[in-house]
Amino acid sequence: MRPGGAKAKGNLFESQVAKKLGIWYYNDENALARVPTSGAMGTVRGEDFVEQGDIRQVAHHERPFPFSVECKHHAEIQIAPFLLGNEKCKLARFWQQCLRDAVKQELMPMLVFKQNRGTAYVCLLAPMDMESTPREYMLGRRHLIVTLEEFCNEGIEQVR
């Protein structure tokens, strides 16, 4: 990849995700936008800075967006090791970053990820069920992974 290509790819992906989620949640493609310095602002300004993650709300402030969104577009991302509990795989590291940011902002975590020339996916905490333990949820080990298209077309109605 040419110099700066990965950053441009990530910026474009974040903008596309912001537009799709804005249409899904607000019926307004301009309601959400990528954070200008992406997730770096939270660490640049210190741990107490509230704007973390890759997407921020820029309109419709009367209806706060309930998610802290982390976007990742990498050459290769494998889902199976993550679902099998491998805490050292790339996707697990992305999810842990997403969880940390969401907790700091008191929002629900949403990881949107894509592999080169692949489909974009959304990873959320799965709804609580009788077989899950609170510890599994605290560790972020119960997941719901769907395509971004499916999520935006069908969404999770109870969130809207």
* For residue 34, pLDDT beyond 60: yes
What residue segments make up the domains of the chain, in order of their start?
Answer: 5-154
Evaluate whether 21 touches 69 at the Cβ level (below 8 Å). Answer: yes
Q: What is the DSSP string of 24-43?
A: HHHS-TTSEEE-TTTTHHHH
Look at 59-63, 97-101, 123-127, 148-152 and tell me which has the smallest mean pLDDT.
123-127
Q: 137 CB contacts (<8 Å, ≥6 apart)?
A: 125, 128
- Render pLDDT for 77-136 as a digit per residue (tens, 0 to 9): 988 888 888 889 999 999 999 999 998 988 999 999 999 989 999 999 877 655 555 555
Q: 72: which strand partners?
A: 113
What's the pLDDT score for residue 158?
46
Q: Show the tokens assigned to 114.
A: 């894509």
CA distance 60 to 139: 32
User: Mean per-residue pLDDT for 133-159?
Assistant: 69
What is the pLDDT, as a whole number, of residue 26?
A: 95
pTM: 0.81
Q: How many helices (H) and strands (E) does the chain have?
A: 6, 6
Tracing tokens 């809207």 back to the chain, one arrives at: 160
Determine the Cα angle at 63 with ends 57 and 69, to 5°: 40
Fold classification of 5-154 is: Trna Endonuclease; Chain: A, domain 1 (3.40.1350)
C-alpha 116/C-alpha 70 separation (Å) is 17
